Structure 1
């Protein structure tokens, strides 16, 4: 049960046609009900229904609660099936932006299988391992004269990431694996850097789903949708002079009020 549709809607409509609805999801909002957050009563699925005239919509992918950005819903079960097939066949090109600790290589490929994560921390079963690969580019870098741990300075970078699967926390776990964890990542990040950024700049997970290219579920034509950066990400981009690197991506501005 979705419950009543709230009057205030934090989603921003980015695109809509007869087949699909694309929105900007802010950080902190669950896509749908989760056994981990049983106390929550409002979800992106519920708000998207509000943008769809009160009619049901069908999620075809998900974003973690602290991740902001592009979220796509189908407007019918048939279109949901088509979109889900595109995701499963890896016909969807996904671009995420992340701000990370350290200076990664200009380009790279991460091939690191991931074990399924149980939602029950007391679950002692050995869960299966799944293939997981992610390509990345480093878009901008900065060195700050702030000492952390044993280092007299701190290095951070803006990255574009392209996961080829949709494993749970894939990007967050892959970046931890290559020792460039995402700022603000409580579970997979580094506490000293998270606290530094929150104290001096901004808080929140510095990860966003920024762009997707996929075949339209009704026509089959390739289409590209983009989402604006969340305010906490944009603030850090502005503070560190990375506006030009982000502008080159052609993302829409976050200047539309929520409905």
Structure 2
């Protein structure tokens, strides 16, 4: 069963588990579980995805309950506000706005016929450090290992944008097997039993298509629960803490 975060007669939002595909893909023919099909069976009706989350990312995922609402919502996605939390390598010392264009990432199979010479696309992300830790775990260069919990707001929607921007800043996300640091990922697997990408969409804000009212959807952290509790980061990211913090950092328009 998927965790329902919000539901009315027009929209439904779920807390997407890490590692689960949003819908079927010919690139992953061996997979048998998908958010879209699971939610359809759970609700007993068709659902229409309004956006996507990468397979290893967890958090807020929105669906329309009719094709008309889906079409209407597609026209306002540029105005949504999404906030993610990530655990990254190193001390992320201060808030930062990054404007760094990204070349489109192409899949070897799905995009085999796509142009390979497209110019880089505009990409902007804001970052705020929330917490830091230093662990007594030696790495190749230091006697200890430092990590940060970072709040991320993408202002554009490029593929793997947050992951690639953090890599560019030399603060790769832990558990990122594509854009991350393999040695740091191994440290987290061996010492902290973390098997996933530590990137979670914690908050999405949009205008309701029928009422016209501001709708905020919050997704609590679930897995791995023991990891998030190690330094009480689960408390820092509880709804009554993180939503007022976001409102303070980035006032609603």
Normalised by the length of structure 2, the TM-score is 0.89
Q: Given the alignment of the two structures, is residue 118 of structure 1 paired with residue 111 of structure 2, yes or no?
A: no
Conserved 8 A contact 1:68-1:230 = no
Q: Unaligned stretches of 5+ in structure 1?
A: 1-8, 252-259
Q: How does 1:20-99 map to 2 (within 5 A)?
A: 20-53=11-44, 55-87=45-77, 90-99=78-87
The alignment partner of 1:195 has SS state of: helix
Tell me what 1:179 maps to. 170
Conserved 8 A contact 1:113-1:129 = yes
1:166 corresponds to which of 147, 157, 167: 157
- C-alpha separation between the residues in 2 aligned to 1:210 and 1:26? 12
2:218 corresponds to which of 221, 226, 248: 226
- C-alpha separation between the residues in 1 aligned to 2:160 and 2:227? 22
The alignment partner of 2:172 has SS state of: coil
Tell me what 2:208 maps to. 216
- C-alpha separation between the residues in 2 aligned to 1:32 and 1:116? 22
Tell me what 1:246 maps to. 237
Residue deviations 1:50-108 (CA, integer Å, cap 9, x gap)? 2322x211001001111111110000111111221111xx2100010100101113211
- C-alpha separation between the residues in 2 aligned to 1:148 and 1:46? 43
2:88 corresponds to which of 84, 92, 100: 100
Conserved 8 A contact 2:174-2:188 = yes
Once the two structures are overlaid, the 10-residue window that deviates more, 182-191 or 103-112, is 103-112
The alignment partner of 1:97 has SS state of: strand
Alignment coverage as a number of residue pairs: 238
Q: Unaligned stretches of 5+ in structure 2?
A: 245-253
Cα deviation for residue 250 of structure 1 reads 5.3
Q: Given the alignment of the two structures, is residue 12 of structure 1 paired with residue 3 of structure 2, yes or no?
A: yes
Q: 1:48 to 1:243 in 2, by over 3 A?
A: closer
Once the two structures are overlaid, the 10-residue window that deviates more, 41-50 or 92-101, is 41-50
What is the aligned-residue RMSD (CA, Å)? 1.8
Cα deviation for residue 115 of structure 1 reads 1.1
Deviating 4+ runs (over 3 angstroms): 121-124
Conserved 8 A contact 1:36-1:119 = no
Cα deviation for residue 161 of structure 1 reads 0.4
